Amino acid sequence: MQQLLAPIHQFLQFKTPEQWIAFAKQPDNLSVLLIDHCNCELKAAQTAMLLIRKYAVDKDNADELLAWLKPYEDFVYRGIGEGQFNGQHNGLKRVIKANGEHPIGDDLVNKMVLLIKEELHHFQQVLEIMQARDIDYQNLTASRYARGLMKHVKTHEPQTLIDKLICGAYIEARSCERFAALAPHLDEELQRFYISLLRSEARHYQDYLTLAEKLAGKDISDRVRYFGQVEAELVSTVDNEFRFHSGVPQGVARQSEVAQDRSCA
């Protein structure tokens, strides 16, 4: 596991704060942790799908992707269904093909379709864990994390897509790092589950970064480093709410301030 995590830790510019881990591992916060984790898996699939639809496929293939995600989105956003997807993540009715109009279209489709399948599978796994623990799915407000990254994306192509891919790499890398950081503090079932996610999440981060580098056709380390600084600030500063990718929860930050004041008194 350490060998798997080494490049992740090197890529990220800031380690998840201990205050976040201390808050996340509290039993009272488990429901929010799992619900938001469930949300994150679906959002990851949606993000990959949007990239394929925007840059790499024709309308028929785009419609096929929309139909693929519809049962999951119906459950999450419209309250339709019981959350039983019967392994729908296993495959599309037909293979999604690139339209040949984008320089990395084939690679984008190949890597993102696999990512979508895996993220939807993870979504179903988290949902099943929640159901077994009588944790009802509910809508949660999104954290500032992804939005905070995306607002720095440039508005001209191909830099727009390059930046989006770099953001995707950071989101996947942070997920992987937090799974590993949380696992030792959770019960045996969740510990096994979170460790089982590490390999695919690590590959997702590498896939995003490889696509960004291939599209750029040149060194992008400065841009990667820039987004690393943005990402580090988002996870290291105080956040109003606790989420899977949030910064230091406000309540924990206040407790730390009180404890520091007392120690100085």
Domain of 109: which CATH number? 1.20.1260.10
Tell me which residue of 85, 8, 101, 17 sits closest to 45, measured CA to CA.
85
Is residue 44 a contact partner of residue 172, using CB atoms and an 8 Å limit? Answer: yes
Q: What is the pLDDT of residue 91?
A: 66
**Domain span holding position 155:** 2-264
Q: What is the pLDDT of residue 1?
A: 81
Count how many domains the chain has: 1
DSSP characters over 188-231: HHHHHHHHHHHHHHHHHHHHHHHHHHHHH-S--HHHHHHHHHHH
pLDDT single digits (tens) 208-218: 999 999 999 99
Taking residue 244's Cβ as centre, other Cβ atoms within 10 Å add up to 24
Q: Which residues pair with 249 in a beta bridge?
A: 239
Q: What is the pLDDT of residue 255?
A: 52
pLDDT single digits (tens) 21-32: 999 999 999 999
Is residue 249 a contact partner of residue 239, using CB atoms and an 8 Å limit? Answer: yes
Q: What is the pLDDT of residue 82?
A: 86
Run means of pLDDT, 10 residues per run, the chain, 265 residues: 91 96 96 97 96 96 91 93 79 78 96 93 95 93 95 98 98 97 96 94 95 98 98 96 94 49 41
Residue 88's SS3 state is helix
* CB neighbour class for 132 (10 Å; exposed up to 12, middle 13-18, buried from 19): exposed
Model pTM?
0.93
